[in-house]
Amino acid sequence: MLRLGRREFDAHEPVIMAIVNRTPDSFYDQGATFRDEPALARVEQAVAEGAAIIDIGGVKAGPGEEVTAEEEARRTVGFVAEVRRRFPDVVISVDTWRHEVGEAVCEAGADLLNDAWGGVDPRLAEVAARYRVGLVCTHAGESEPRTRPHRVAYDDVMADILRVTLGLAERAVALGVPRESVLIDPGHDFGKNTRHSLEATRRLGEMVSTGWPVLVSLSNKDFVGETLDKPVKERVLGTLATTAVSAWLGAQVYRVHEVAETRQVLDMVASIAGHRPPAVARRGLA
- Find residue 18's DSSP bridge partners: 54, 256
Closest C-alpha to 57, from 27, 19, 98: 19
Rounded to the nearest 10 degrees, the angle between the axes of helix 236-249 and helix 194-202 is 40
Angstrom CA distances, 53 to 63, 134, 148, 191, 284, stand at 26, 12, 27, 25, 38
Cα–Cα distance for residue pair 67/214, rounded to 1 Å: 29
What percent of the chain is helix, strand and coil (3-state, nearest 5)? 45, 15, 40
Sign of the dihedral defined by the CA atoms of residues 227, 229, 231, 233, in that order? negative
Residues taking part in catalysis: 221, 255
Length of the chain: 286
